[in-house]
Amino acid sequence: PEAVSVHRDRPGGSPRNVWPGTVREITSVGSRLRVLIGSDRAPDLVAEITPEAAAELGIVDGAAVWTSVKATEVTLVRL
């Protein structure tokens, strides 16, 4: 969750793994918020952000967002 970035607009720059999604749930975990983001185009993702970042970005249930994860942060687990 710490490696997932949340954006209101499609991010530019170095992240190659970028997906649109919708905020489905926000849970307070200590001093951070755990945000569940669902998408028809990718698996659900969980991001951890600060309450300040959520307020600045206008992150609320149902908000349309973009997520990004740098390739170096991805680990594939085979089940």
Spatial CA neighbour of 8 closest among 74, 54, 71 = 54
HSE-up (13 A, CA, CB side) for residue 19: 18
CATH of the domain at 20: 2.40.50.100
Q: What pTM did the predictor assign?
A: 0.85
Alpha helices, H only, the chain: 51-57
Domain count, the chain: 1
Q: Which pLDDT tens digit goes with each residue over 69-79? A: 888 888 777 87
Cβ within 8 Å of residue 45, ≥6 positions away: 4, 19, 21, 36, 37, 39, 67, 69
Tell whether 56 is covered by a domain. Answer: yes
The whole domain housing 57 covers: 5-71
How confident is residue 35, by pLDDT bands cut at 50, 70 and 90? very high
Q: What is the pLDDT of residue 23?
A: 98
